[in-house]
Amino acid sequence: MLGRLLQGLRDRGYVEGRNLVIEQRYAAGRREALPLLVAELARLKVDVLISSGRAATSAAGSAKLPVVFVTGDSGGDTPGPPGANMTGLASTTPGVSAKWVELIRDAVPTVRRIAILWDPVGTPRAQLQAAEAAATPLGLATVAVIGHEAKDIDAAFKTAVERRAGAIVVLPSASFAFRQQWIVGLSARIRLPAIYGDRDFVELGGLRRAPSLATSPSSSPPSSNSQSTSRPPRPSA
């Protein structure tokens, strides 16, 4: 996300180090750290806050500063306190989650059970429910696995394998975005086909992304507009 943001700013004449200063703060998946990071940025008197994910956006709204956000929510109310000066984009609707289930079934026609990785802290439950509902008419059983911290994600993939899931749908979450390489590495290491909603996962080694599916090397060959790698990436520490 940051790389695309910087490129967009450069396209409009804003260049970091020349006429733009960017103060970056990361909570590393620790929701409790967000209010402290927002307060720190407010003390620095930044002109605008840019946030990714509902938890970060909710925290940013308390700073009484202009906020531009991207969340995986389905729209509706602004994800901040009443009266907050906020504008942004809800990047993923529940209907999109349902489409990902169709795509993973099309990419792996033999699959009969799929795991759905979601983060109860950062993923709207409506996305999980939409994915589960889409699986039933396709004849797919589902296994919902929960992840937030790195250890949770490890356990979630282990559960997916133990429950004999033939593929996994990774729903959007700020925590997952922070651990992209770790998740891509897990999927490749255990040869579990996966679909991701963010192209950054593809750039780190996932072969495709939604809507042009993200799968591991064990699935069917990627289409001509997908990216691939000759060997699985190693998980980061």
Q: Do residues 192 and 157 lie in contact, with contact meaning Cβ atoms separated by under 8 Å?
A: yes
pLDDT at 222: 35
pLDDT at 205: 52
pLDDT at 179: 84
pLDDT averaged over consecutive 10-residue blocks of the chain (237 residues)? Answer: 81 92 84 90 92 82 85 54 69 75 90 94 85 94 92 93 94 82 88 80 52 39 32 36
Domains and CATH numbers, the chain: 2-90 (no CATH), 94-203 (3.40.50.2300)
With tokens 């020349």, the residue in question is: 18
pLDDT at 181: 85
pLDDT at 158: 94
Read off the tokens for 192.
């579990």
pLDDT at 54: 75
Distances (CA, A) of 122 to 22, 55, 76, 190: 24, 7, 17, 25
